[in-house]
Structure 1
Amino acid sequence: MNQRPRFVDHIDLAALRTAVNCSRLFTKYLLNRWGAPSLIDDATLIVSELVTNAVKATGNMDEHPKWSELHDLKLIKVRLVGLEASVVFEVWDTSEDEPVLTEAGDDDEGGRGLFLVEELASRWGSYAQPRGKVVWAELPVYARTPGGLPIRQRKAPADPSVQPTQHDLGLLRRVRDGLQDL
């Protein structure tokens, strides 16, 4: 982050399944306090996925863990950094294993977390820390239309030879008209 942060806050959580919901509530609270409620849906999804991965890597995902399983409970740290044009989410855990973006099959119940982060965030990554790692994602703050809808910037295609899709305005109008007739 080369920009000076406008807002910074963090929370330490036990590496338990409940950390996921706590991190969502924390994120929602901060974004409301920072005056950025339009980011809440994407932000809580990103934080949920990053925290889920951190708990899976270092904690206990059981819905009802036994007391005997909690004797060496690890912590995770969730940090939000509000910049001028984006919010950065950082999740620290004690695992040294780097996150791996995988492709989940159609019938798989999980494995899409980092894919969702990659789709929502303008960029994401990880870096090593003396006792673990930090996985981070940056969510841009989009300009808004007069009606309040976000104006998202298109991501550049991975292959420069691929041209952006041209929209068939006639088809789009027919779809719009068909939806209005419903």
Structure 2
Amino acid sequence: MVSYLELAGLLSAVGWARRHTRDVLSAWGIERNAETVELLVSELVTNAVRHARVPDGAVTYLDLAEVRRISLTLRLRRDRVSVEIWDSDPQPPAMREQSLDAEGGRGLFLVATLSKEWGYYHPPTGGKVVWCVVPLPSSGTTADARGTPRLPKRQPSTMPVPKAEVVNDPSILQQVIDGLHRME
């Protein structure tokens, strides 16, 4: 099963992408891991919006005409959900050094930590696609016996492994989730 959503590269795209993801996963009968997928979509769309947004201070209708688009593709297989976010900027994603007191810059770190695998590729149409895969439990999914379209073959990720101490603190992840819910 595949779901595709095209959005304007505006801050409001993050909330719309989260809502779309929640609705699609619910329709697919995936309750387990849904919050993880939703969080990863939110982080990747936020990064795409940063690269697609109009400059700060842009307020006219003509400025809005310059907004680039981004897209979200969700793919369901029997054992995983893949998330693909396309934006028109070909610049590879860059993971920042992590600091416990930093207020931002944890998006790709969260993606690397919470997904089974992730990376990016440059499609023939231009820009880049940043993708990640979230495994599903063997039961509780509604994928049919035929499966779904195969994921395209991709080169292994060349992204560096984060040089940060992993803090196994559920309260920090809960703070992130709570903050994202407040953004809606």
> Shared topology, TM-score over 0.5?
yes
1:142 and 2:137 aligned: yes
Structure-1 separation of matches of 2:130 and 2:137: 23
1:52 and 1:60, CA in 2 relative to 1: closer, same or farther beyond 3 A?
Answer: farther
Partner of 2:181: none
**Would you tell me which structure has more strand in proportion to its own residues?**
1
Query: Which residues of 2 match residues 75-114 of structure 1 at below 5 A?
Result: 75-114=69-108
Structure-2 separation of matches of 1:107 and 1:65: 31
Q: Which runs of 4+ in 1 moved over 3 A?
A: none
- Letter of the aligned partner of 1:50 in structure 2? L
1:30 and 1:39, CA in 2 relative to 1: closer, same or farther beyond 3 A?
Answer: same
Q: Are the counterparts in 1 of residues 79 and 138 from structure 2 also a CA contact under 8 Å? A: no
Q: Are the counterparts in 1 of residues 73 and 83 from structure 2 also a CA contact under 8 Å? A: yes
Aligned residues: 138
- Letter of the aligned partner of 1:85 in structure 2? D
1:122 and 2:116 aligned: yes
Query: Can you give the 5+ residue segments of structure 2 that lack an aligned partner in the other structure?
Result: 140-160, 162-184
Shift of 1:112: 0.3
Query: Can you give the 5+ residue segments of structure 1 that lack an aligned partner in the other structure?
Result: 1-6, 145-157, 159-182
- Letter of the aligned partner of 1:51 in structure 2? V
Q: Are the counterparts in 2 of residues 104 and 110 from structure 1 also a CA contact under 8 Å? A: no
Could you tell me which of 123, 126, 149 is aligned with 1:131?
Answer: 126
Shift of 1:48: 0.3
1:23 and 1:37, CA in 2 relative to 1: closer, same or farther beyond 3 A?
Answer: same
Query: TM-score, with normalisation over the residues of structure 2?
Result: 0.70
- Letter of the aligned partner of 1:89 in structure 2? V
Q: Give the percent of matched residue pairs that are identical in Structure 1 and Structure 2.
A: 37
Q: Are the counterparts in 2 of residues 16 and 61 from structure 1 also a CA contact under 8 Å? A: no
Partner of 1:66: 59
Indicate the RMSD between aligned Cα atoms, in angstroms: 1.9
1:141 and 1:106, CA in 2 relative to 1: closer, same or farther beyond 3 A?
Answer: same
Structure-1 separation of matches of 2:104 and 2:74: 25
* Larger RCO, structures 1/2 (Cα 8 Å, 6+ apart): 2
Structure-1 separation of matches of 2:84 and 2:54: 20
Once the two structures are superposed, residues 10-56 of structure 1 have per-residue CA deviations (whole angstroms, 9 ceiling, x without a partner) of 10000000000000000000000000012221011000000000010
Q: Are the counterparts in 2 of residues 86 and 139 from structure 1 also a CA contact under 8 Å? A: yes
1:20 and 2:14 aligned: yes
